[in-house]
Amino acid sequence: MTVTVLPSRLSGSVAAPPSKSYAHRYLIGAALARGESRIRNAGESADVSATLGCIRALGAAALPAGDGALAVSGCGIPRRSATLFVGESGSTLRFLIPLCLLSGVPFTFSGAKRLFERPLSVYETLCRERGFRFEKTANSLTVCGRLTPGRYEIPGGISSQFATGLLFALPLLDGDSELILTGRAESLSYLDITKKVLADFGVSVAFDGGARFTVPGGQTYSPVDATVEGDASNAAFFEALALLHGDVRVTGVPADTLQGDRVFSSLAERIGRGEEISLADCPDLAPVLMAAAAERGGAVFTDTARLKLKESDRGEAMAAELRKFGARVTVEENRITVEKAALHSPSAPISSHNDHRIAMAAAVLLTRYGGQIRGAEAVEKSFPDFFERLSALGGKVRYDET
């Protein structure tokens, strides 16, 4: 789908969409609980829908319960073989793999080729060391094994999603475990969310604040009644619109949220000052911060190496699209420099690179300069009604389904 965004004057209030980070975790926790949970405001993004489909395939029941809530009747530890379609959702895949290694029966994950090109080496190493089955093709993965209590060491700098997956599974073992993050641990705020959600289900893990989790075994998940808060990552695109247009307000993200991407506004204030801005704990903000930097005087972003492991190689992809606006961008191994430059309407249609965050970051600039986004349907991954909300604020948006 191609979307044309014309220069517009935006104003008004917009509610942040539901947080994917919380929705994935609450749905998986509800599937592990014995009894019925109510999960409110989970949303309908493609990624969350993938998790919902997977927990149903594992044996949980999940039905609409009115007022945007889902009634989820859990199935406990997955014990029957199943094929799980994860789409393009890295969270779904990485959170569920350890749960499928609790019962010793095979499970197969299928989904988009790009997803299986992203790192899974943490789990592959874990499985190989324990003699488990780990068979990967271009668009599938089959695992089979039975985790036992003990000490688990995984790198902390690839993705926090691996640690979250293990933290869901280890409390269900019959003995205590330790989870050690080696190297530099990044995106720790996502593990704070995991701890919070686990606690809501009555599951306790202890974190020393640095690299070590202590996980008591023999625990069970209790049903919850939980409401998913607004998503700080996607709220950032509308906070960026506020920088460009002034009168845009975002609601739905609690002031005390644990989400690491709550820092967009504070980081954006540093753009144009010549300071280095680390993205170690908020890599998903990179595209929108790069767009803001191109518009507002440049910036140097550090700790960017992980961007190449996302839905696209986000540093290179965003640089390519910003250059169409006249921006000057240099991408290095772990550093991205956006120089001050005069922008203009893009010289060619913007490509989403099949990446929702590239599409939305480009749309922010297009409200000032106008232009087209090809592959705009990528927003369905996390924010299906993004362009509708943009229109509601006064954005001039046209759709071309061809």
Residue-wise pLDDT tens digits, 106-125: 999 999 999 999 989 999 99
**Each residue's pLDDT tens digit, 319-360:** 999 999 999 999 999 999 999 999 999 999 999 999 999 999
pTM: 0.94
What is the model's pLDDT at position 402?
54
Question: Is the pLDDT score of 207 beyond 60?
Answer: yes
Its sign, for the CA torsion 317, 319, 321, 324, is negative
Question: Is the pLDDT score of 401 beyond 70?
Answer: no
Q: Are 90 and 159 in contact (CB under 8 A)?
A: yes
Question: Is the pLDDT score of 48 beyond 60?
Answer: yes
Q: Where are the domains of the chain?
A: 2-17+230-400, 20-213
What is the model's pLDDT at position 91?
96
Q: Once rounded to an integer, what is the mean pLDDT over residues 263-269?
A: 96
| Straight-line distance from the first to the last Cα atom of the chain, in angstroms, rounded to the nearest whole number | 6
CA–CA gap between residue 178 and residue 207 (Å, rounded): 10
Catalytic residue among 47, 200, 284, 303: 284
Question: Is the pLDDT score of 400 beyond 90?
Answer: no
From the list 386, 326, 394, the residue with the least C-alpha distance to 352 is 386
DSSP secondary structure string for all residues of 328-368 = EEEEETTEEEEE-----S-SSPEE-TT-HHHHHHHHHHHHH
Centre a 10 Å sphere on the Cβ of residue 163 and count the other Cβ atoms it contains.
28
Q: Which helix (H) or strand (E) holds 162?
A: helix 160-169
What is the model's pLDDT at position 209?
78
What is the model's pLDDT at position 18?
96
Tell me what the pLDDT averaged over the chain comes to: 95
Q: Once rounded to an integer, what is the mean pLDDT over residues 267-296?
A: 95
**Percent of the chain beyond pLDDT 70?**
100
Q: Does 284 participate in catalysis according to the annotation?
A: yes
Give me the helix-helix angle, 160-169 and 188-200, nearest 10°.
20
Q: Once rounded to an integer, what is the mean pLDDT over residues 28-54?
A: 96
From the list 124, 91, 330, 85, the residue with the least C-alpha distance to 231 is 91
**Each residue's pLDDT tens digit, 224-253:** 999 999 999 999 999 999 998 889 999 999
When pLDDT is cut at 50, 70 and 90, the band that residue 173 belongs to is very high
Q: Once rounded to an integer, what is the mean pLDDT over residues 69-73?
A: 97
Are domains 2-17+230-400 and 20-213 of this chain identical in fold? Answer: yes
CATH topology of domain 2-17+230-400: UDP-n-acetylglucosamine1-carboxyvinyl-transferase; Chain (3.65.10)
Tokens representing residue 350 in the block: 């913007």
DSSP secondary structure string for all residues of 138-156 = SSEEEEE----SSEEEEES
> How far lies 215's CA from each of 77, 149, 194, 287, in Å?
17, 9, 13, 36
Q: Once rounded to an integer, what is the mean pLDDT over residues 75-96?
A: 96
Residue in the structure block whose two tokens are 């700790």: 303
From the list 311, 300, 286, the residue with the least C-alpha distance to 46 is 311
Which region among 70-74, 241-245, 301-305, 334-338 has the lowest average model confidence (pLDDT)? 241-245
Q: Once rounded to an integer, what is the mean pLDDT over residues 392-398?
A: 95
Question: Is the pLDDT score of 135 beyond 60?
Answer: yes
**Each residue's pLDDT tens digit, 14-39:** 999 999 999 999 999 999 999 999 99
CATH topology of domain 20-213: UDP-n-acetylglucosamine1-carboxyvinyl-transferase; Chain (3.65.10)
